[in-house]
A and B are shown apart, each in its own frame.
Chain A
Amino acid sequence: MPSITISGLTKRFGSTLAVRKLDMEIEDGEFVTLLGPSGCGKTTTLRCLAGLEEPDEGEILFGDRCVFSSQKGVFVPPGGRRVGLVFQSYALWPHMTVFQNVSFGLSKQRLPKEEIRKRVSEILTLLGLQGYENRYPSELSGGQQQRVALARMIVTQPEILLFDEPLSNLDAKLRMTLRAELKRLHREIGATTVYVTHDQLEALTLSTRIAVMKEGVVQQMGTPKEVYHFPENLFVAEFMSNPKTNLFPARVVEPGPPAACALAADPAVRFHLQAGPLPEEKPLVINVRPEDIEISPIAGPGLKAKVYATLPTGGECISYFRLEAGGLEVVAKGPEEEHLCLNPNQPAWLSFKRGNIFNEETGRIIASFGFLSGEGKDEG
């Protein structure tokens, strides 16, 4: 299976720059997710890979085969790229049966009828669709339609699989099942895969690597753990967290280690971080994920706060606090027993288990704290 090399890819629509100077290396057999908010250019990137859009600049290589190059004037049309694409709406042809939909690509390859029949039924069996050959798409459930779309894509054995939010039209449960199925399929087929989503959980569970995009630019590309634990900038940190992450504007008082910081909202409130030396007097933003906030009902070293809402989600709990100093809002997530003992309006003390420190001006990461060495790195 080929690797994918994208360099300097730019795509404009009139005056909007959908993708700008995108560089990306995807190893063969990888499962890379393009993740980002709506309108950031994920679909456009994917469509450029498929050949459905012609980029304005740049180069795309599949292995060492050049499928697009603005300089050399190469543009391989979609049919010649050996890629498969699954759309969000599945795009099943409503006037064709399941069998006709799936066999469409094979009939292009001029295989004998028997061979086509055999291959289609193999694929349908693989996806648990045997017996549905003669149904029309409108006679299938959403999940079944999605499987037919998958079958139609993989039956021609493409070397590269492209997905554009394939699961977002399905309900939560079905989405989980199909995620597992996609992972299995990817392992079995081994095709290089690019997967577009704006659901960070989906990206974290499926990918070997994630590329987080914003306004047509890749912000960070790395393994799920890297992107999750060591976001390179504030945008990635915020985007990768659910519920929303905590950001504390602060200032360094002692460079450390351990560094002492003061909250920007109330300099009297100080706390220590297992990091340093940190640049003094620079405005910083400290990012601590909800699950990295420790709560103590007993007076201690942390920041004093009051709980104002506790949302149990079954097993886990999400609680909202307001800091006494500066009135900042803090979200914490943790086991139910820790949270449910809190009474509204009773003080609690919050401390930071681990987090990342960003330069407020540039938004870039400066340091991390509280991680064990090697933690969060790729297991290899």
Chain B
Amino acid sequence: MAPYSILPMVNRHLVKLKRRGARLLRRPERGWGIVLALLLVVFVVIPIGYMAASSFTFDSWGPRYVRGAQPGELTTFYWQRVLTGRLARAIFWEPLLHSFLIAVLMTGIALPVGALFAWLVARTDIPFKGFWNSALIVPYIVPSWTVGLAWLTLFKNPQFGGQPGLFSSLFGSSPPTWLGYGLLPIVISLAAHYVPYTFILLRGALATVDAQLEESAEILGAGRLEVLRKITFPLVLPALGSAFVLTFGKGLGEFATQAFLGLPVRYYTLSTRVYAAFSNRQQSEGYVLTLILVLLTALTVFANQRLIGARKRYTTISGKGAFRKPVNLGRWRTPAVFLLGAFVLLFVIAPVGLIAWETFMKFEGQYSLSNFTLHYWVGAGDPLLADGQPGIFKNPVILGAIKNSVLLAGLTALASGTIGIMLGYAVVRTRGSLLSRSLEFLSFTPYMIPGIAFGGIYLSLFARSWGPLPALYGTMALLVVTCTAKYLPFSSSSGISAMHQIDPTLEEAAELHGARWGKRFVRIILPLAKSGFMSAVLLTLITTMRVLDLIVLLVTPHTRTMTSIIFRFQQQGFTQHAYGIMLLIVVITLFGHFLIRRLGGRIEF
């Protein structure tokens, strides 16, 4: 090309660049989206990739196991060790079986019970509906291991540490081990936690089934049961399927309950095996187990995606909301009330009551009035009680943990809320583009990774420094990053739905008035997204307050939180302290949930 034509060409490119720059300033969602996508890659994709790669290379301990192995050398040693090795049965297959058993049984109980409750409350003339609507979901608001801990106060066995529980005091003999630890109590306490989950999902699905669909069948001569079987049930089947796979997936990944009720009797599951591997510094084994756990959970999530597809097809038509005639329970009314009442009594009132009671007992296991004390709340240290640990409100370690928890929850909620709104904005405004889809997909991936596995991944990744990034292990920042990343699916979906409510024309109108992007965001987008934002922030807040599995591998004495201190105290036998902190968490989560209800936000996570 002749030299004289270069100048105009350069010029043209400059103009083009300038125009691009101006557009980026005017409509920054693309640039913004790209930055977010990069962040997601760094904090979600790379960790998984890093772990997968690490599971196939010898670590620094490699030479100890395999003669001549070089750290960093490619190998399938760890996979073989976990899947087929001499210890495979103990490390992997048995825990896998246990995990499946727990998930299957727990889902098998939670699903029908939750569905029955949903039907009773949504469709029949059962009295006190408002009360059931609030009370039945309490087990899902408080930490999943609340019932598990309360269970221990009943059926604890001194043989496995600590003092005898209520059962021993009443009957003078230790309860059978199978009643106190292992499969049965784990299944029951997890089921109690997940009954409300099915309840919430199905209650929503039942509410969206148009009453007229059922009435049409009735007019054509179908009876009550036939309508239920041929119309209602098929219509809520996809939702029921969702509840099934999601509960199942969560059951596979649950950690805390399995740890409290399983570890004392060496009843291992995949999740507690992951924990054991990492805390025993068997990283590579942990990687393999984590990857398997992630894979299993991801499979359930994909199964759910298919079901959601089916659900969409079912909800395309819906009429003017007709008033619905509730089903007359007739003589089943009283039994139904008793059933729901029993659930609330056994899994809401009793656990919280037992946990509270425990904190007022001077000596554990002595259920008498003379044993009452406030020592564990406000007492100064007494060398005869709990190794001289001062009461909760006098205890610098616990107070520090409370401070850490509040700090962690606050920072995480703020970070999640902000990222959620930004993600929502970028996803909604670039709708239809590859960027939008990848952002949505990437922000969803942490959903497929159980908390304990997620913690393991971050532990392995941030125990060392990466270029300019120092080793984050042991800092509060690591906990905040971990929780924020793990809760991305929730915060981004909240952000996206909040942004969906805001018509782009609202922003365009401001643009016509010459409002710059920053101003538009602050003056129009944020105020309109506020209530969605607030309830999402609050939910993240209480979820972080009660989280254990995600951070249990990452805390250090310096960054201890309320939940991790419960875990430690419970293992060390400082039961009253542990239960007292537990009670605080229960109160905080319930209160936070109350606020969210006030704001009209969603409560399932």
Using CB atoms and an 8 Å cutoff, list the residues of chain A in contact with chain B.
13, 50-53, 77-81, 83-85, 87-95, 104-105, 108-109, 136-138, 145, 152, 156
B212 & A87 in contact (Cβ 8 Å cutoff):
yes
Given contacts A52-B325, A79-B222, is CB(A87)–CB(B314) below 8 Å?
no
B313 & A136 in contact (Cβ 8 Å cutoff):
yes
Question: Within 8 Å of chain A (Cβ to Cβ): is B225?
Answer: no
Q: Which residues on the A side are within 8 Å of B212 (C-beta)?
A: 87, 89, 91
CB-CB contacts of B307-321 with A at 8 A, as 1s and 0s?
000000111111110
Given pairs A89-B318, A89-B319, A92-B317, 4 additional interface contacts (CB within 8 A): A85-B215, A94-B315, A94-B317, A152-B216
Given contacts A53-B325, A104-B217, A145-B317, is CB(A91)–CB(B222) below 8 Å?
no
B221 & A87 in contact (Cβ 8 Å cutoff):
no
Query: Given the complex of chains A and B, what is the CA–CA distance between A28 and B216 in angstroms?
Result: 24
Return the chain A residue nearest B315 by Cβ: A94
Query: Given the complex of chains A and B, what is the CA–CA distance between A81 and B223 in angstroms?
Result: 14
Query: Given the complex of chains A and B, what is the CA–CA distance between A207 and B491 in angstroms?
Result: 56
B319 & A88 in contact (Cβ 8 Å cutoff):
yes
Which 10 A/B pairs are nearest by Cβ-Cβ distance?
A: A89-B319, A79-B221, A105-B220, A91-B212, A138-B316, A108-B221, A87-B212, A78-B219, A95-B234, A91-B216
Q: Which residues on the B side are within 8 Å of A95 (C-beta)?
A: 234-235, 314
Question: Within 8 Å of chain A (Cβ to Cβ): is B218?
Answer: yes
Shortest C-beta distance, A261 to chain B (Å), equals 45
Shortest C-beta distance, A339 to chain B (Å), equals 37
CB-CB contacts of B280-301 with A at 8 A, as 1s and 0s?
0000000000000000000000
Return the chain A residue nearest B221 by Cβ: A79
B223 & A138 in contact (Cβ 8 Å cutoff):
no
Question: Within 8 Å of chain A (Cβ to Cβ): is B231?
Answer: yes
Q: Which residues on the B side are within 8 Å of A156 (C-beta)?
A: 220
Shortest C-beta distance, B120 to chain A (Å), equals 22
Query: Given the complex of chains A and B, what is the CA–CA distance between A169 and B212 in angstroms?
Result: 15
The 16 sampled A-B contact pairs (Cβ below 8 Å) are: A13-B323, A52-B215, A52-B325, A85-B216, A89-B210, A89-B318, A90-B317, A90-B319, A91-B213, A92-B317, A94-B317, A104-B222, A105-B220, A138-B317, A152-B216, A152-B220
Q: Which residues on the B side are within 8 Å of A78 (C-beta)?
A: 215, 218-219
Q: Which residues on the A side are within 8 Å of B319 (C-beta)?
A: 87-91
Q: Which residues on the A side are within 8 Å of B313 (C-beta)?
A: 94, 136, 138
Checking B210, B219, B234 against A83 with a beta-carbon cut-off of 8 angstroms, the contacting residue is: B219
Shortest C-beta distance, B393 to chain A (Å), equals 51
Count chain B CB atoms within 10 A of each CB in A51, A53, A89, A152 and give the residue with the most: A89
CB-CB contacts of B220-249 with A at 8 A, as 1s and 0s?
111100000011001100000000000000
Shortest C-beta distance, B315 to chain A (Å), equals 7
Name the interface residues of B266-281: CB closer than 8 Å to any CB of A.
Answer: none
Given contacts A89-B212, A91-B210, is CB(A79)–CB(B317) below 8 Å?
no
Q: Which residues on the A side are within 8 Å of B231 (C-beta)?
A: 93
B220 & A79 in contact (Cβ 8 Å cutoff):
yes
Shortest C-beta distance, B336 to chain A (Å), equals 22
Checking A50, A53, A89, A104 against B317 with a beta-carbon cut-off of 8 angstroms, the contacting residue is: A89
Shortest C-beta distance, B325 to chain A (Å), equals 7
Shortest C-beta distance, B47 to chain A (Å), equals 41
Checking A53, A79, A89 against B219 with a beta-carbon cut-off of 8 angstroms, the contacting residue is: A79
Query: Given the complex of chains A and B, what is the CA–CA distance between A51 and B220 in angstroms?
Result: 12
Shortest C-beta distance, A89 to chain B (Å), equals 2
Size category of the binding interface on chain B: 20 to 34
Q: Which residues on the A side are within 8 Å of B219 (C-beta)?
A: 50-52, 78-79, 81, 83-85
Query: Given the complex of chains A and B, what is the CA–CA distance between A154 and B331 in angstroms?
Result: 37
Return the chain B residue nearest A83 by Cβ: B219
Q: Which residues on the A side are within 8 Å of B230 (C-beta)?
A: 104
Q: Which residues on the B side are within 8 Å of A51 (C-beta)?
A: 219
Given contacts A138-B313, A138-B316, is CB(A91)–CB(B220) below 8 Å?
no
Count chain A CB atoms within 10 A of each CB in B220, B221, B319 and give the residue with the most: B220
Return the chain A residue nearest B310 by Cβ: A95
Q: Which residues on the A side are within 8 Å of B320 (C-beta)?
A: 88-89
Return the chain A residue nearest B215 by Cβ: A52
Shortest C-beta distance, B228 to chain A (Å), equals 14
Shortest C-beta distance, B522 to chain A (Å), equals 41
Query: Given the complex of chains A and B, what is the CA–CA distance between A91 and B214 in angstroms?
Result: 8
Query: Given the complex of chains A and B, what is the CA–CA distance between A91 and B217 in angstroms?
Result: 10
Q: Which residues on the B side are within 8 Å of A89 (C-beta)?
A: 210, 212, 317-320
Shortest C-beta distance, B221 to chain A (Å), equals 3
Q: Which residues on the B side are within 8 Å of A50 (C-beta)?
A: 215, 219
Shortest C-beta distance, A306 to chain B (Å), equals 38
Return the chain A residue nearest B209 by Cβ: A94
Query: Given the complex of chains A and B, what is the CA–CA distance between A83 and B218 in angstroms?
Result: 11
Q: Which residues on the B side are within 8 Å of A77 (C-beta)?
A: 218
Query: Given the complex of chains A and B, what is the CA–CA distance between A93 and B226 in angstroms?
Result: 14
B314 & A94 in contact (Cβ 8 Å cutoff):
yes
Name the interface residues of B185-225: CB closer than 8 Å to any CB of A.
Answer: 210, 212-213, 215-223
Query: Given the complex of chains A and B, what is the CA–CA distance between A208 and B231 in angstroms?
Result: 36
Given contacts A88-B320, A137-B317, A138-B316, is CB(A93)–CB(B221) below 8 Å?
no
Shortest C-beta distance, B541 to chain A (Å), equals 39
Q: Which residues on the B side are within 8 Å of A80 (C-beta)?
A: 221
Query: Given the complex of chains A and B, what is the CA–CA distance between A109 and B231 in angstroms?
Result: 18
Checking A92, A104, A137 against B220 with a beta-carbon cut-off of 8 angstroms, the contacting residue is: A104
Given contacts A80-B221, A95-B234, is CB(A87)–CB(B216) below 8 Å?
yes
Shortest C-beta distance, B224 to chain A (Å), equals 10
Q: Which residues on the B side are within 8 Å of A13 (C-beta)?
A: 323
Return the chain B residue nearest A95 by Cβ: B234
Shortest C-beta distance, A52 to chain B (Å), equals 5
Query: Given the complex of chains A and B, what is the CA–CA distance between A136 and B317 in angstroms?
Result: 11
Shortest C-beta distance, B154 to chain A (Å), equals 45
Checking A52, A105, A137 against B221 with a beta-carbon cut-off of 8 angstroms, the contacting residue is: A105
Query: Given the complex of chains A and B, what is the CA–CA distance between A85 and B216 in angstroms?
Result: 7
Query: Given the complex of chains A and B, what is the CA–CA distance between A153 and B320 in angstroms?
Result: 20
Return the chain A residue nearest B217 by Cβ: A104
Q: Which residues on the A side are within 8 Å of B221 (C-beta)?
A: 79-80, 105, 108-109
Return the chain B residue nearest A138 by Cβ: B316
Query: Given the complex of chains A and B, what is the CA–CA distance between A342 and B313 in angstroms?
Result: 56
Query: Given the complex of chains A and B, what is the CA–CA distance between A75 and B314 in angstroms?
Result: 34
Query: Given the complex of chains A and B, what is the CA–CA distance between A145 and B316 in angstroms?
Result: 12
Return the chain A residue nearest B235 by Cβ: A95
Q: Which residues on the B side are within 8 Å of A87 (C-beta)?
A: 212, 215-216, 319
Shortest C-beta distance, A346 to chain B (Å), equals 41
B215 & A94 in contact (Cβ 8 Å cutoff):
no
Query: Given the complex of chains A and B, what is the CA–CA distance between A52 and B218 in angstroms?
Result: 8
Shortest C-beta distance, A142 to chain B (Å), equals 10
Name the interface residues of B451-466: CB closer than 8 Å to any CB of A.
Answer: none
